[in-house]
Amino acid sequence: MSLFKARDWWSSTLGEEEEFDQGCLCVADVDNNGNGQDRIIVGSFMGFLRIFAPHPIQVAEGIQAENLLLEVQLRDPVLQVEVGKFVSGTELLHLAVLHPRRLCVYAVSGTLGNVEHGNQHQIKLMYEHNLQRTACNMTHGPFGGVKGRDFICIQSMDGMLMFFEQEGYAFGRFLPGFLLPGPLRYSARTDSFLTVSSCRQVESYKYQVLAVASDTDTRRETEQQKHGSGKRLVADWILNIGEQALDICIVSFNQAPTSVFILGERNFFCLKENGQIRFMKKLDYSPSCFLPYCSVSEGTINTLVGNHNNMLLVYQDVTLKWAAQLPYIPVAVKVGNFQDLKGVTVTLSETGYLQCSYFGTDPSLFQAPKVESREINYEELDVEMKELQKIIKESTKTQDIMPKSEKEDTLAIMAVVSTELDSVSQAIESEVGAEVVPSVTVKITVMSRLAVQKTILTVCVQRPLALTHDQFIFSALEINPEGVPRVVQCKFLLPLKLVCFPVQPLKNANHKLTIDTNKPPVSLSSLFPDFADPSDEEQVNVLGFHLLAGGKVTLLASKTSQRYRIQSEQFDELWLVLKELLLRFEDHFRKQGSNDFACSFSGPIPLPEYFEVIDHHFELRLNDEKFQELLSERAIQFRAIERRLLTRFKDKTPAPLQNLDTLLDGTYRQVIALADAAEENQGRLLQDFTRLKSATHLVILLIGLWQKLSKDQIAILEATFLPLLQDTHELGWEESVDAAVSHLLKTCLSKSSKEQALTLTSQLSMPKDTAKLKKHLTLFCDRLAKGGRLSLSADSSLQQAIIMPGSCATIPESDQEERVAELDPLEMFTNQRQLARKTANAAS
């Protein structure tokens, strides 16, 4: 145990299972606060960017939340972060973030709050460059001797130096004899770039030489270079160091000349500007990072070196001055100024342990206890060893972490729904506008054979259904002895009378659907005995249902054929009754011992009606965005007026208000009115999303009957059309479904390999309209109608019966069919419906 430890001033653990490297740490005044305090910027390979303002840790307080100024997750891994004057027109510092294929420059700013924890920091993207080659690292500086600006040079994995003059791309040059990328630094004094090549030699290239060298977009020499016309890229000086370098630093202090420091795998070099060696230090350990940070005496430079022995060493030139123990292996080290404490050492580990420390002694008071001499009983040790080996053998028999399911499961859940509604309704504050809202009791039984603690039972229902209790917590229960968390689910059906009641049927309706069966017609009164009146003989073939939160739905059965019709004034209200009809059909014929019962739908799919529901839902989403924008504008105006009034009231010589109080009152009324309108629109949006889900369930059900889809294919349909439980501002139903349908069209429903090669965007945003979604839905049904089948396997598209490249298209049987095939997909479905109606009329 070392007596010399790095004393912990502040520390934090970043994320979980994240990785960090040398370029992921930067210490600078990135938010331009001007008070001399630095910020710590950390990026990770998982794409997280964090900015800290550390404060000393108090024993009673622990780590404070305000130390983390900003945490955002970017789309790509962060390779390196740097701070400099990267934006034209200003000399403020900005943050450059290097991704494998992008360079982004951000402005970091803070907003003061009115309370202690009210300060807010945010980043704004100033510009970005998309890279044609995969980046490795970057360096920055005033290339060419520019004043008040910093340019950026990026080294790619294939050896190209890409130069960016702030918002513009300047040029690119390939390094000669390149094999693998090495560290890269810029020297402002000599206006040159230094790197260590795969030949294990330090190479220096002048910026002017790089700028005037022949433009090489490929790695081969051009014919002009072979004949000597054109300037080839030649190094200013080269020094062979005989080992690969980990990092390069170029420093210049008042008491010491400008020096180039190179950290090798076994040696530590210090060079002059012209490449001559000033000194070198042979290391007896494996270094991990280093930083020349100051000059405390004339002609010498102090350097921090971290190694794989969890040590942080301080050298004055080649003399070891201090050694401090760290709790981890540092991969990056910096020095910063925080809270009027200068020279704080900032280190970062590969796993994300960030620490601010200072050097000092921490003597250990531990004393090893005296060892008592005693005789060893080998017989007892043998017995104990055999018991331990038996336990190890038993524990290694089971390979899986999760326990295997047994015939009699250790945990089970069962739900029993009462056959009758509650005599006294338990509905409280129902959203449904009916006079009487019924309720039903569900009895849930949880069974277990072993003891557990803190068992939680959660019950979930879809809107507009509600629960009197949605969560139950049991202090003690029984479960498996392995201690592995278990989750079990149980689904149950609620009675139809909970959401509708019998009513006189409608003779005419706007929306109608016809379902065919392969069995003789069944009396509706026998299928729905809870809705039929035994004294009414007409209810044998017709029934009426009135939804509590909607309109009327009529169910008719044909007297001679095996057809059933469902009709209603609202398209989405058809689903619930149709679904219940199919379930009762299956139960009826199962009791009769018939297993070959099947239903079918002749089509076409009612897409125009479905599109009306989608358009109405999307219109409410657009209104919600408009209300949010207007509310934000009025809130900004309201706060601005408040600030002006507060300034007037604080003034020692009061001035006229100039109708600011009237303007404040009017703005306040507008804010309240907009908030009420936004809340009302949000409620309508929630109700309309329930209608949209009902209409979507109906379309899924009809597609399944139309194409006779299997359970697995219907599950794919449900995952595609119902990806969300509710709409949010960040992600809505339209863009989610459009992305899912587009994926199916480009995979299992694709017509050619060219369609499969198309890639989808990784970001979903709210579309401008629903035209693209409706086009994709129409094309989706068209592909299914032509024989396409849903599958999640990669080679499923090869098994489709649709037209493939090189195959023969089917010959239209009539001119009319040929004309329909040339129409737009939506027009084709409309014409098919008209054609089906004409055929039915002719047959009758």
> pLDDT tens digits, residue range 723-736?
877 778 788 989 99
User: What percent of the chain has a predicted confidence (pLDDT) above 90?
Assistant: 45
Number of C-beta neighbours around residue 574 at 10 A: 26
CA separation, residue 340 to residues 65, 83, 116, 347 (Å): 20, 21, 20, 19
Instruction: Check residue 431 and give its pLDDT.
Output: 64
Report the pLDDT value the prediction gives residue 125, as an integer from 0 to 100.
94
Cβ-count burial of 749 within 10 angstroms (0-12 exposed, 13-18 middle, 19+ buried)?
buried
Distance CA 277, CA 205 (A): 18
β-strand partners of 445: 414
CB-neighbour burial class of residue 578 (10 A; exposed 0-12, middle 13-18, buried 19+): buried
Structural contact between residues 810 and 767, judged by C-beta atoms closer than 8 angstroms: no
Q: What is the mean pLDDT of residues 807-826?
A: 37
Inform me whether the pLDDT recorded for 370 exceeds 70.
Answer: no
Contacts made by residues 634-642, CB under 8 angstroms, sequence distance 24+? 634/667, 634/670, 634/671, 634/674, 635/671, 637/667, 638/664, 638/667, 638/668, 638/671, 641/667
Pick the more confident residue, 35 or 133.
133
Q: Give me 43's structure tokens.
A: 């990026």
Termini Cα distance of the chain: 98
Burial class (CB in 10 A: 0-12, 13-18, 19+), 191: middle
The closest of 90, 161, 92 to 131, measured between CA atoms, is: 161
Please, which pLDDT band fits residue 432 given cuts at 50, 70 and 90?
Answer: low
Q: Is the peptide bond preceding residue 327 cis, with omega within 30 degrees of 0? A: no
Q: What is the pLDDT of residue 499?
A: 86
As a dihedral over the C-alpha atoms of residue 589, residue 592, residue 597, residue 603, rounded to 10 degrees, the angle is: -30
- Residue 607 has what pLDDT? 93
Q: What's the sign of the alpha-carbon dihedral 182, 183, 184, 190?
A: negative
Q: Which two tokens stand for residue 163?
A: 């130069």
At residue 434, the pLDDT reads 64
- 330: tokens are 């540092």
| Strand-by-strand arrangement of the 552-557 sheet | 500-502, 542-547, 552-557, 563-568, 511-517, 599-600
CA–CA distance, 632 with 671 (Å, rounded to integer): 9
Mean of the per-residue pLDDT values of the chain: 82
pLDDT confidence of residue 257: 87
Provide the CA 466 distance to its chain's centre, in angstroms. Answer: 31
**433 three-state secondary structure:** coil
Q: How far apart are CA 314 and CA 316, in angstroms?
A: 7
Angle value at C-alpha 634, between 633 and 635, nearest 5 degrees:
90
Identify the pLDDT of residue 487: 76
What Rg do the C-alpha atoms of the chain give, in angstroms?
37
Which alpha helices (H) appear in 44-153, and where do they start and end? none
Q: What is the pLDDT of residues 161-175, one digit of tens each?
A: 999 999 999 999 999
pLDDT > 70: percent of the chain: 82
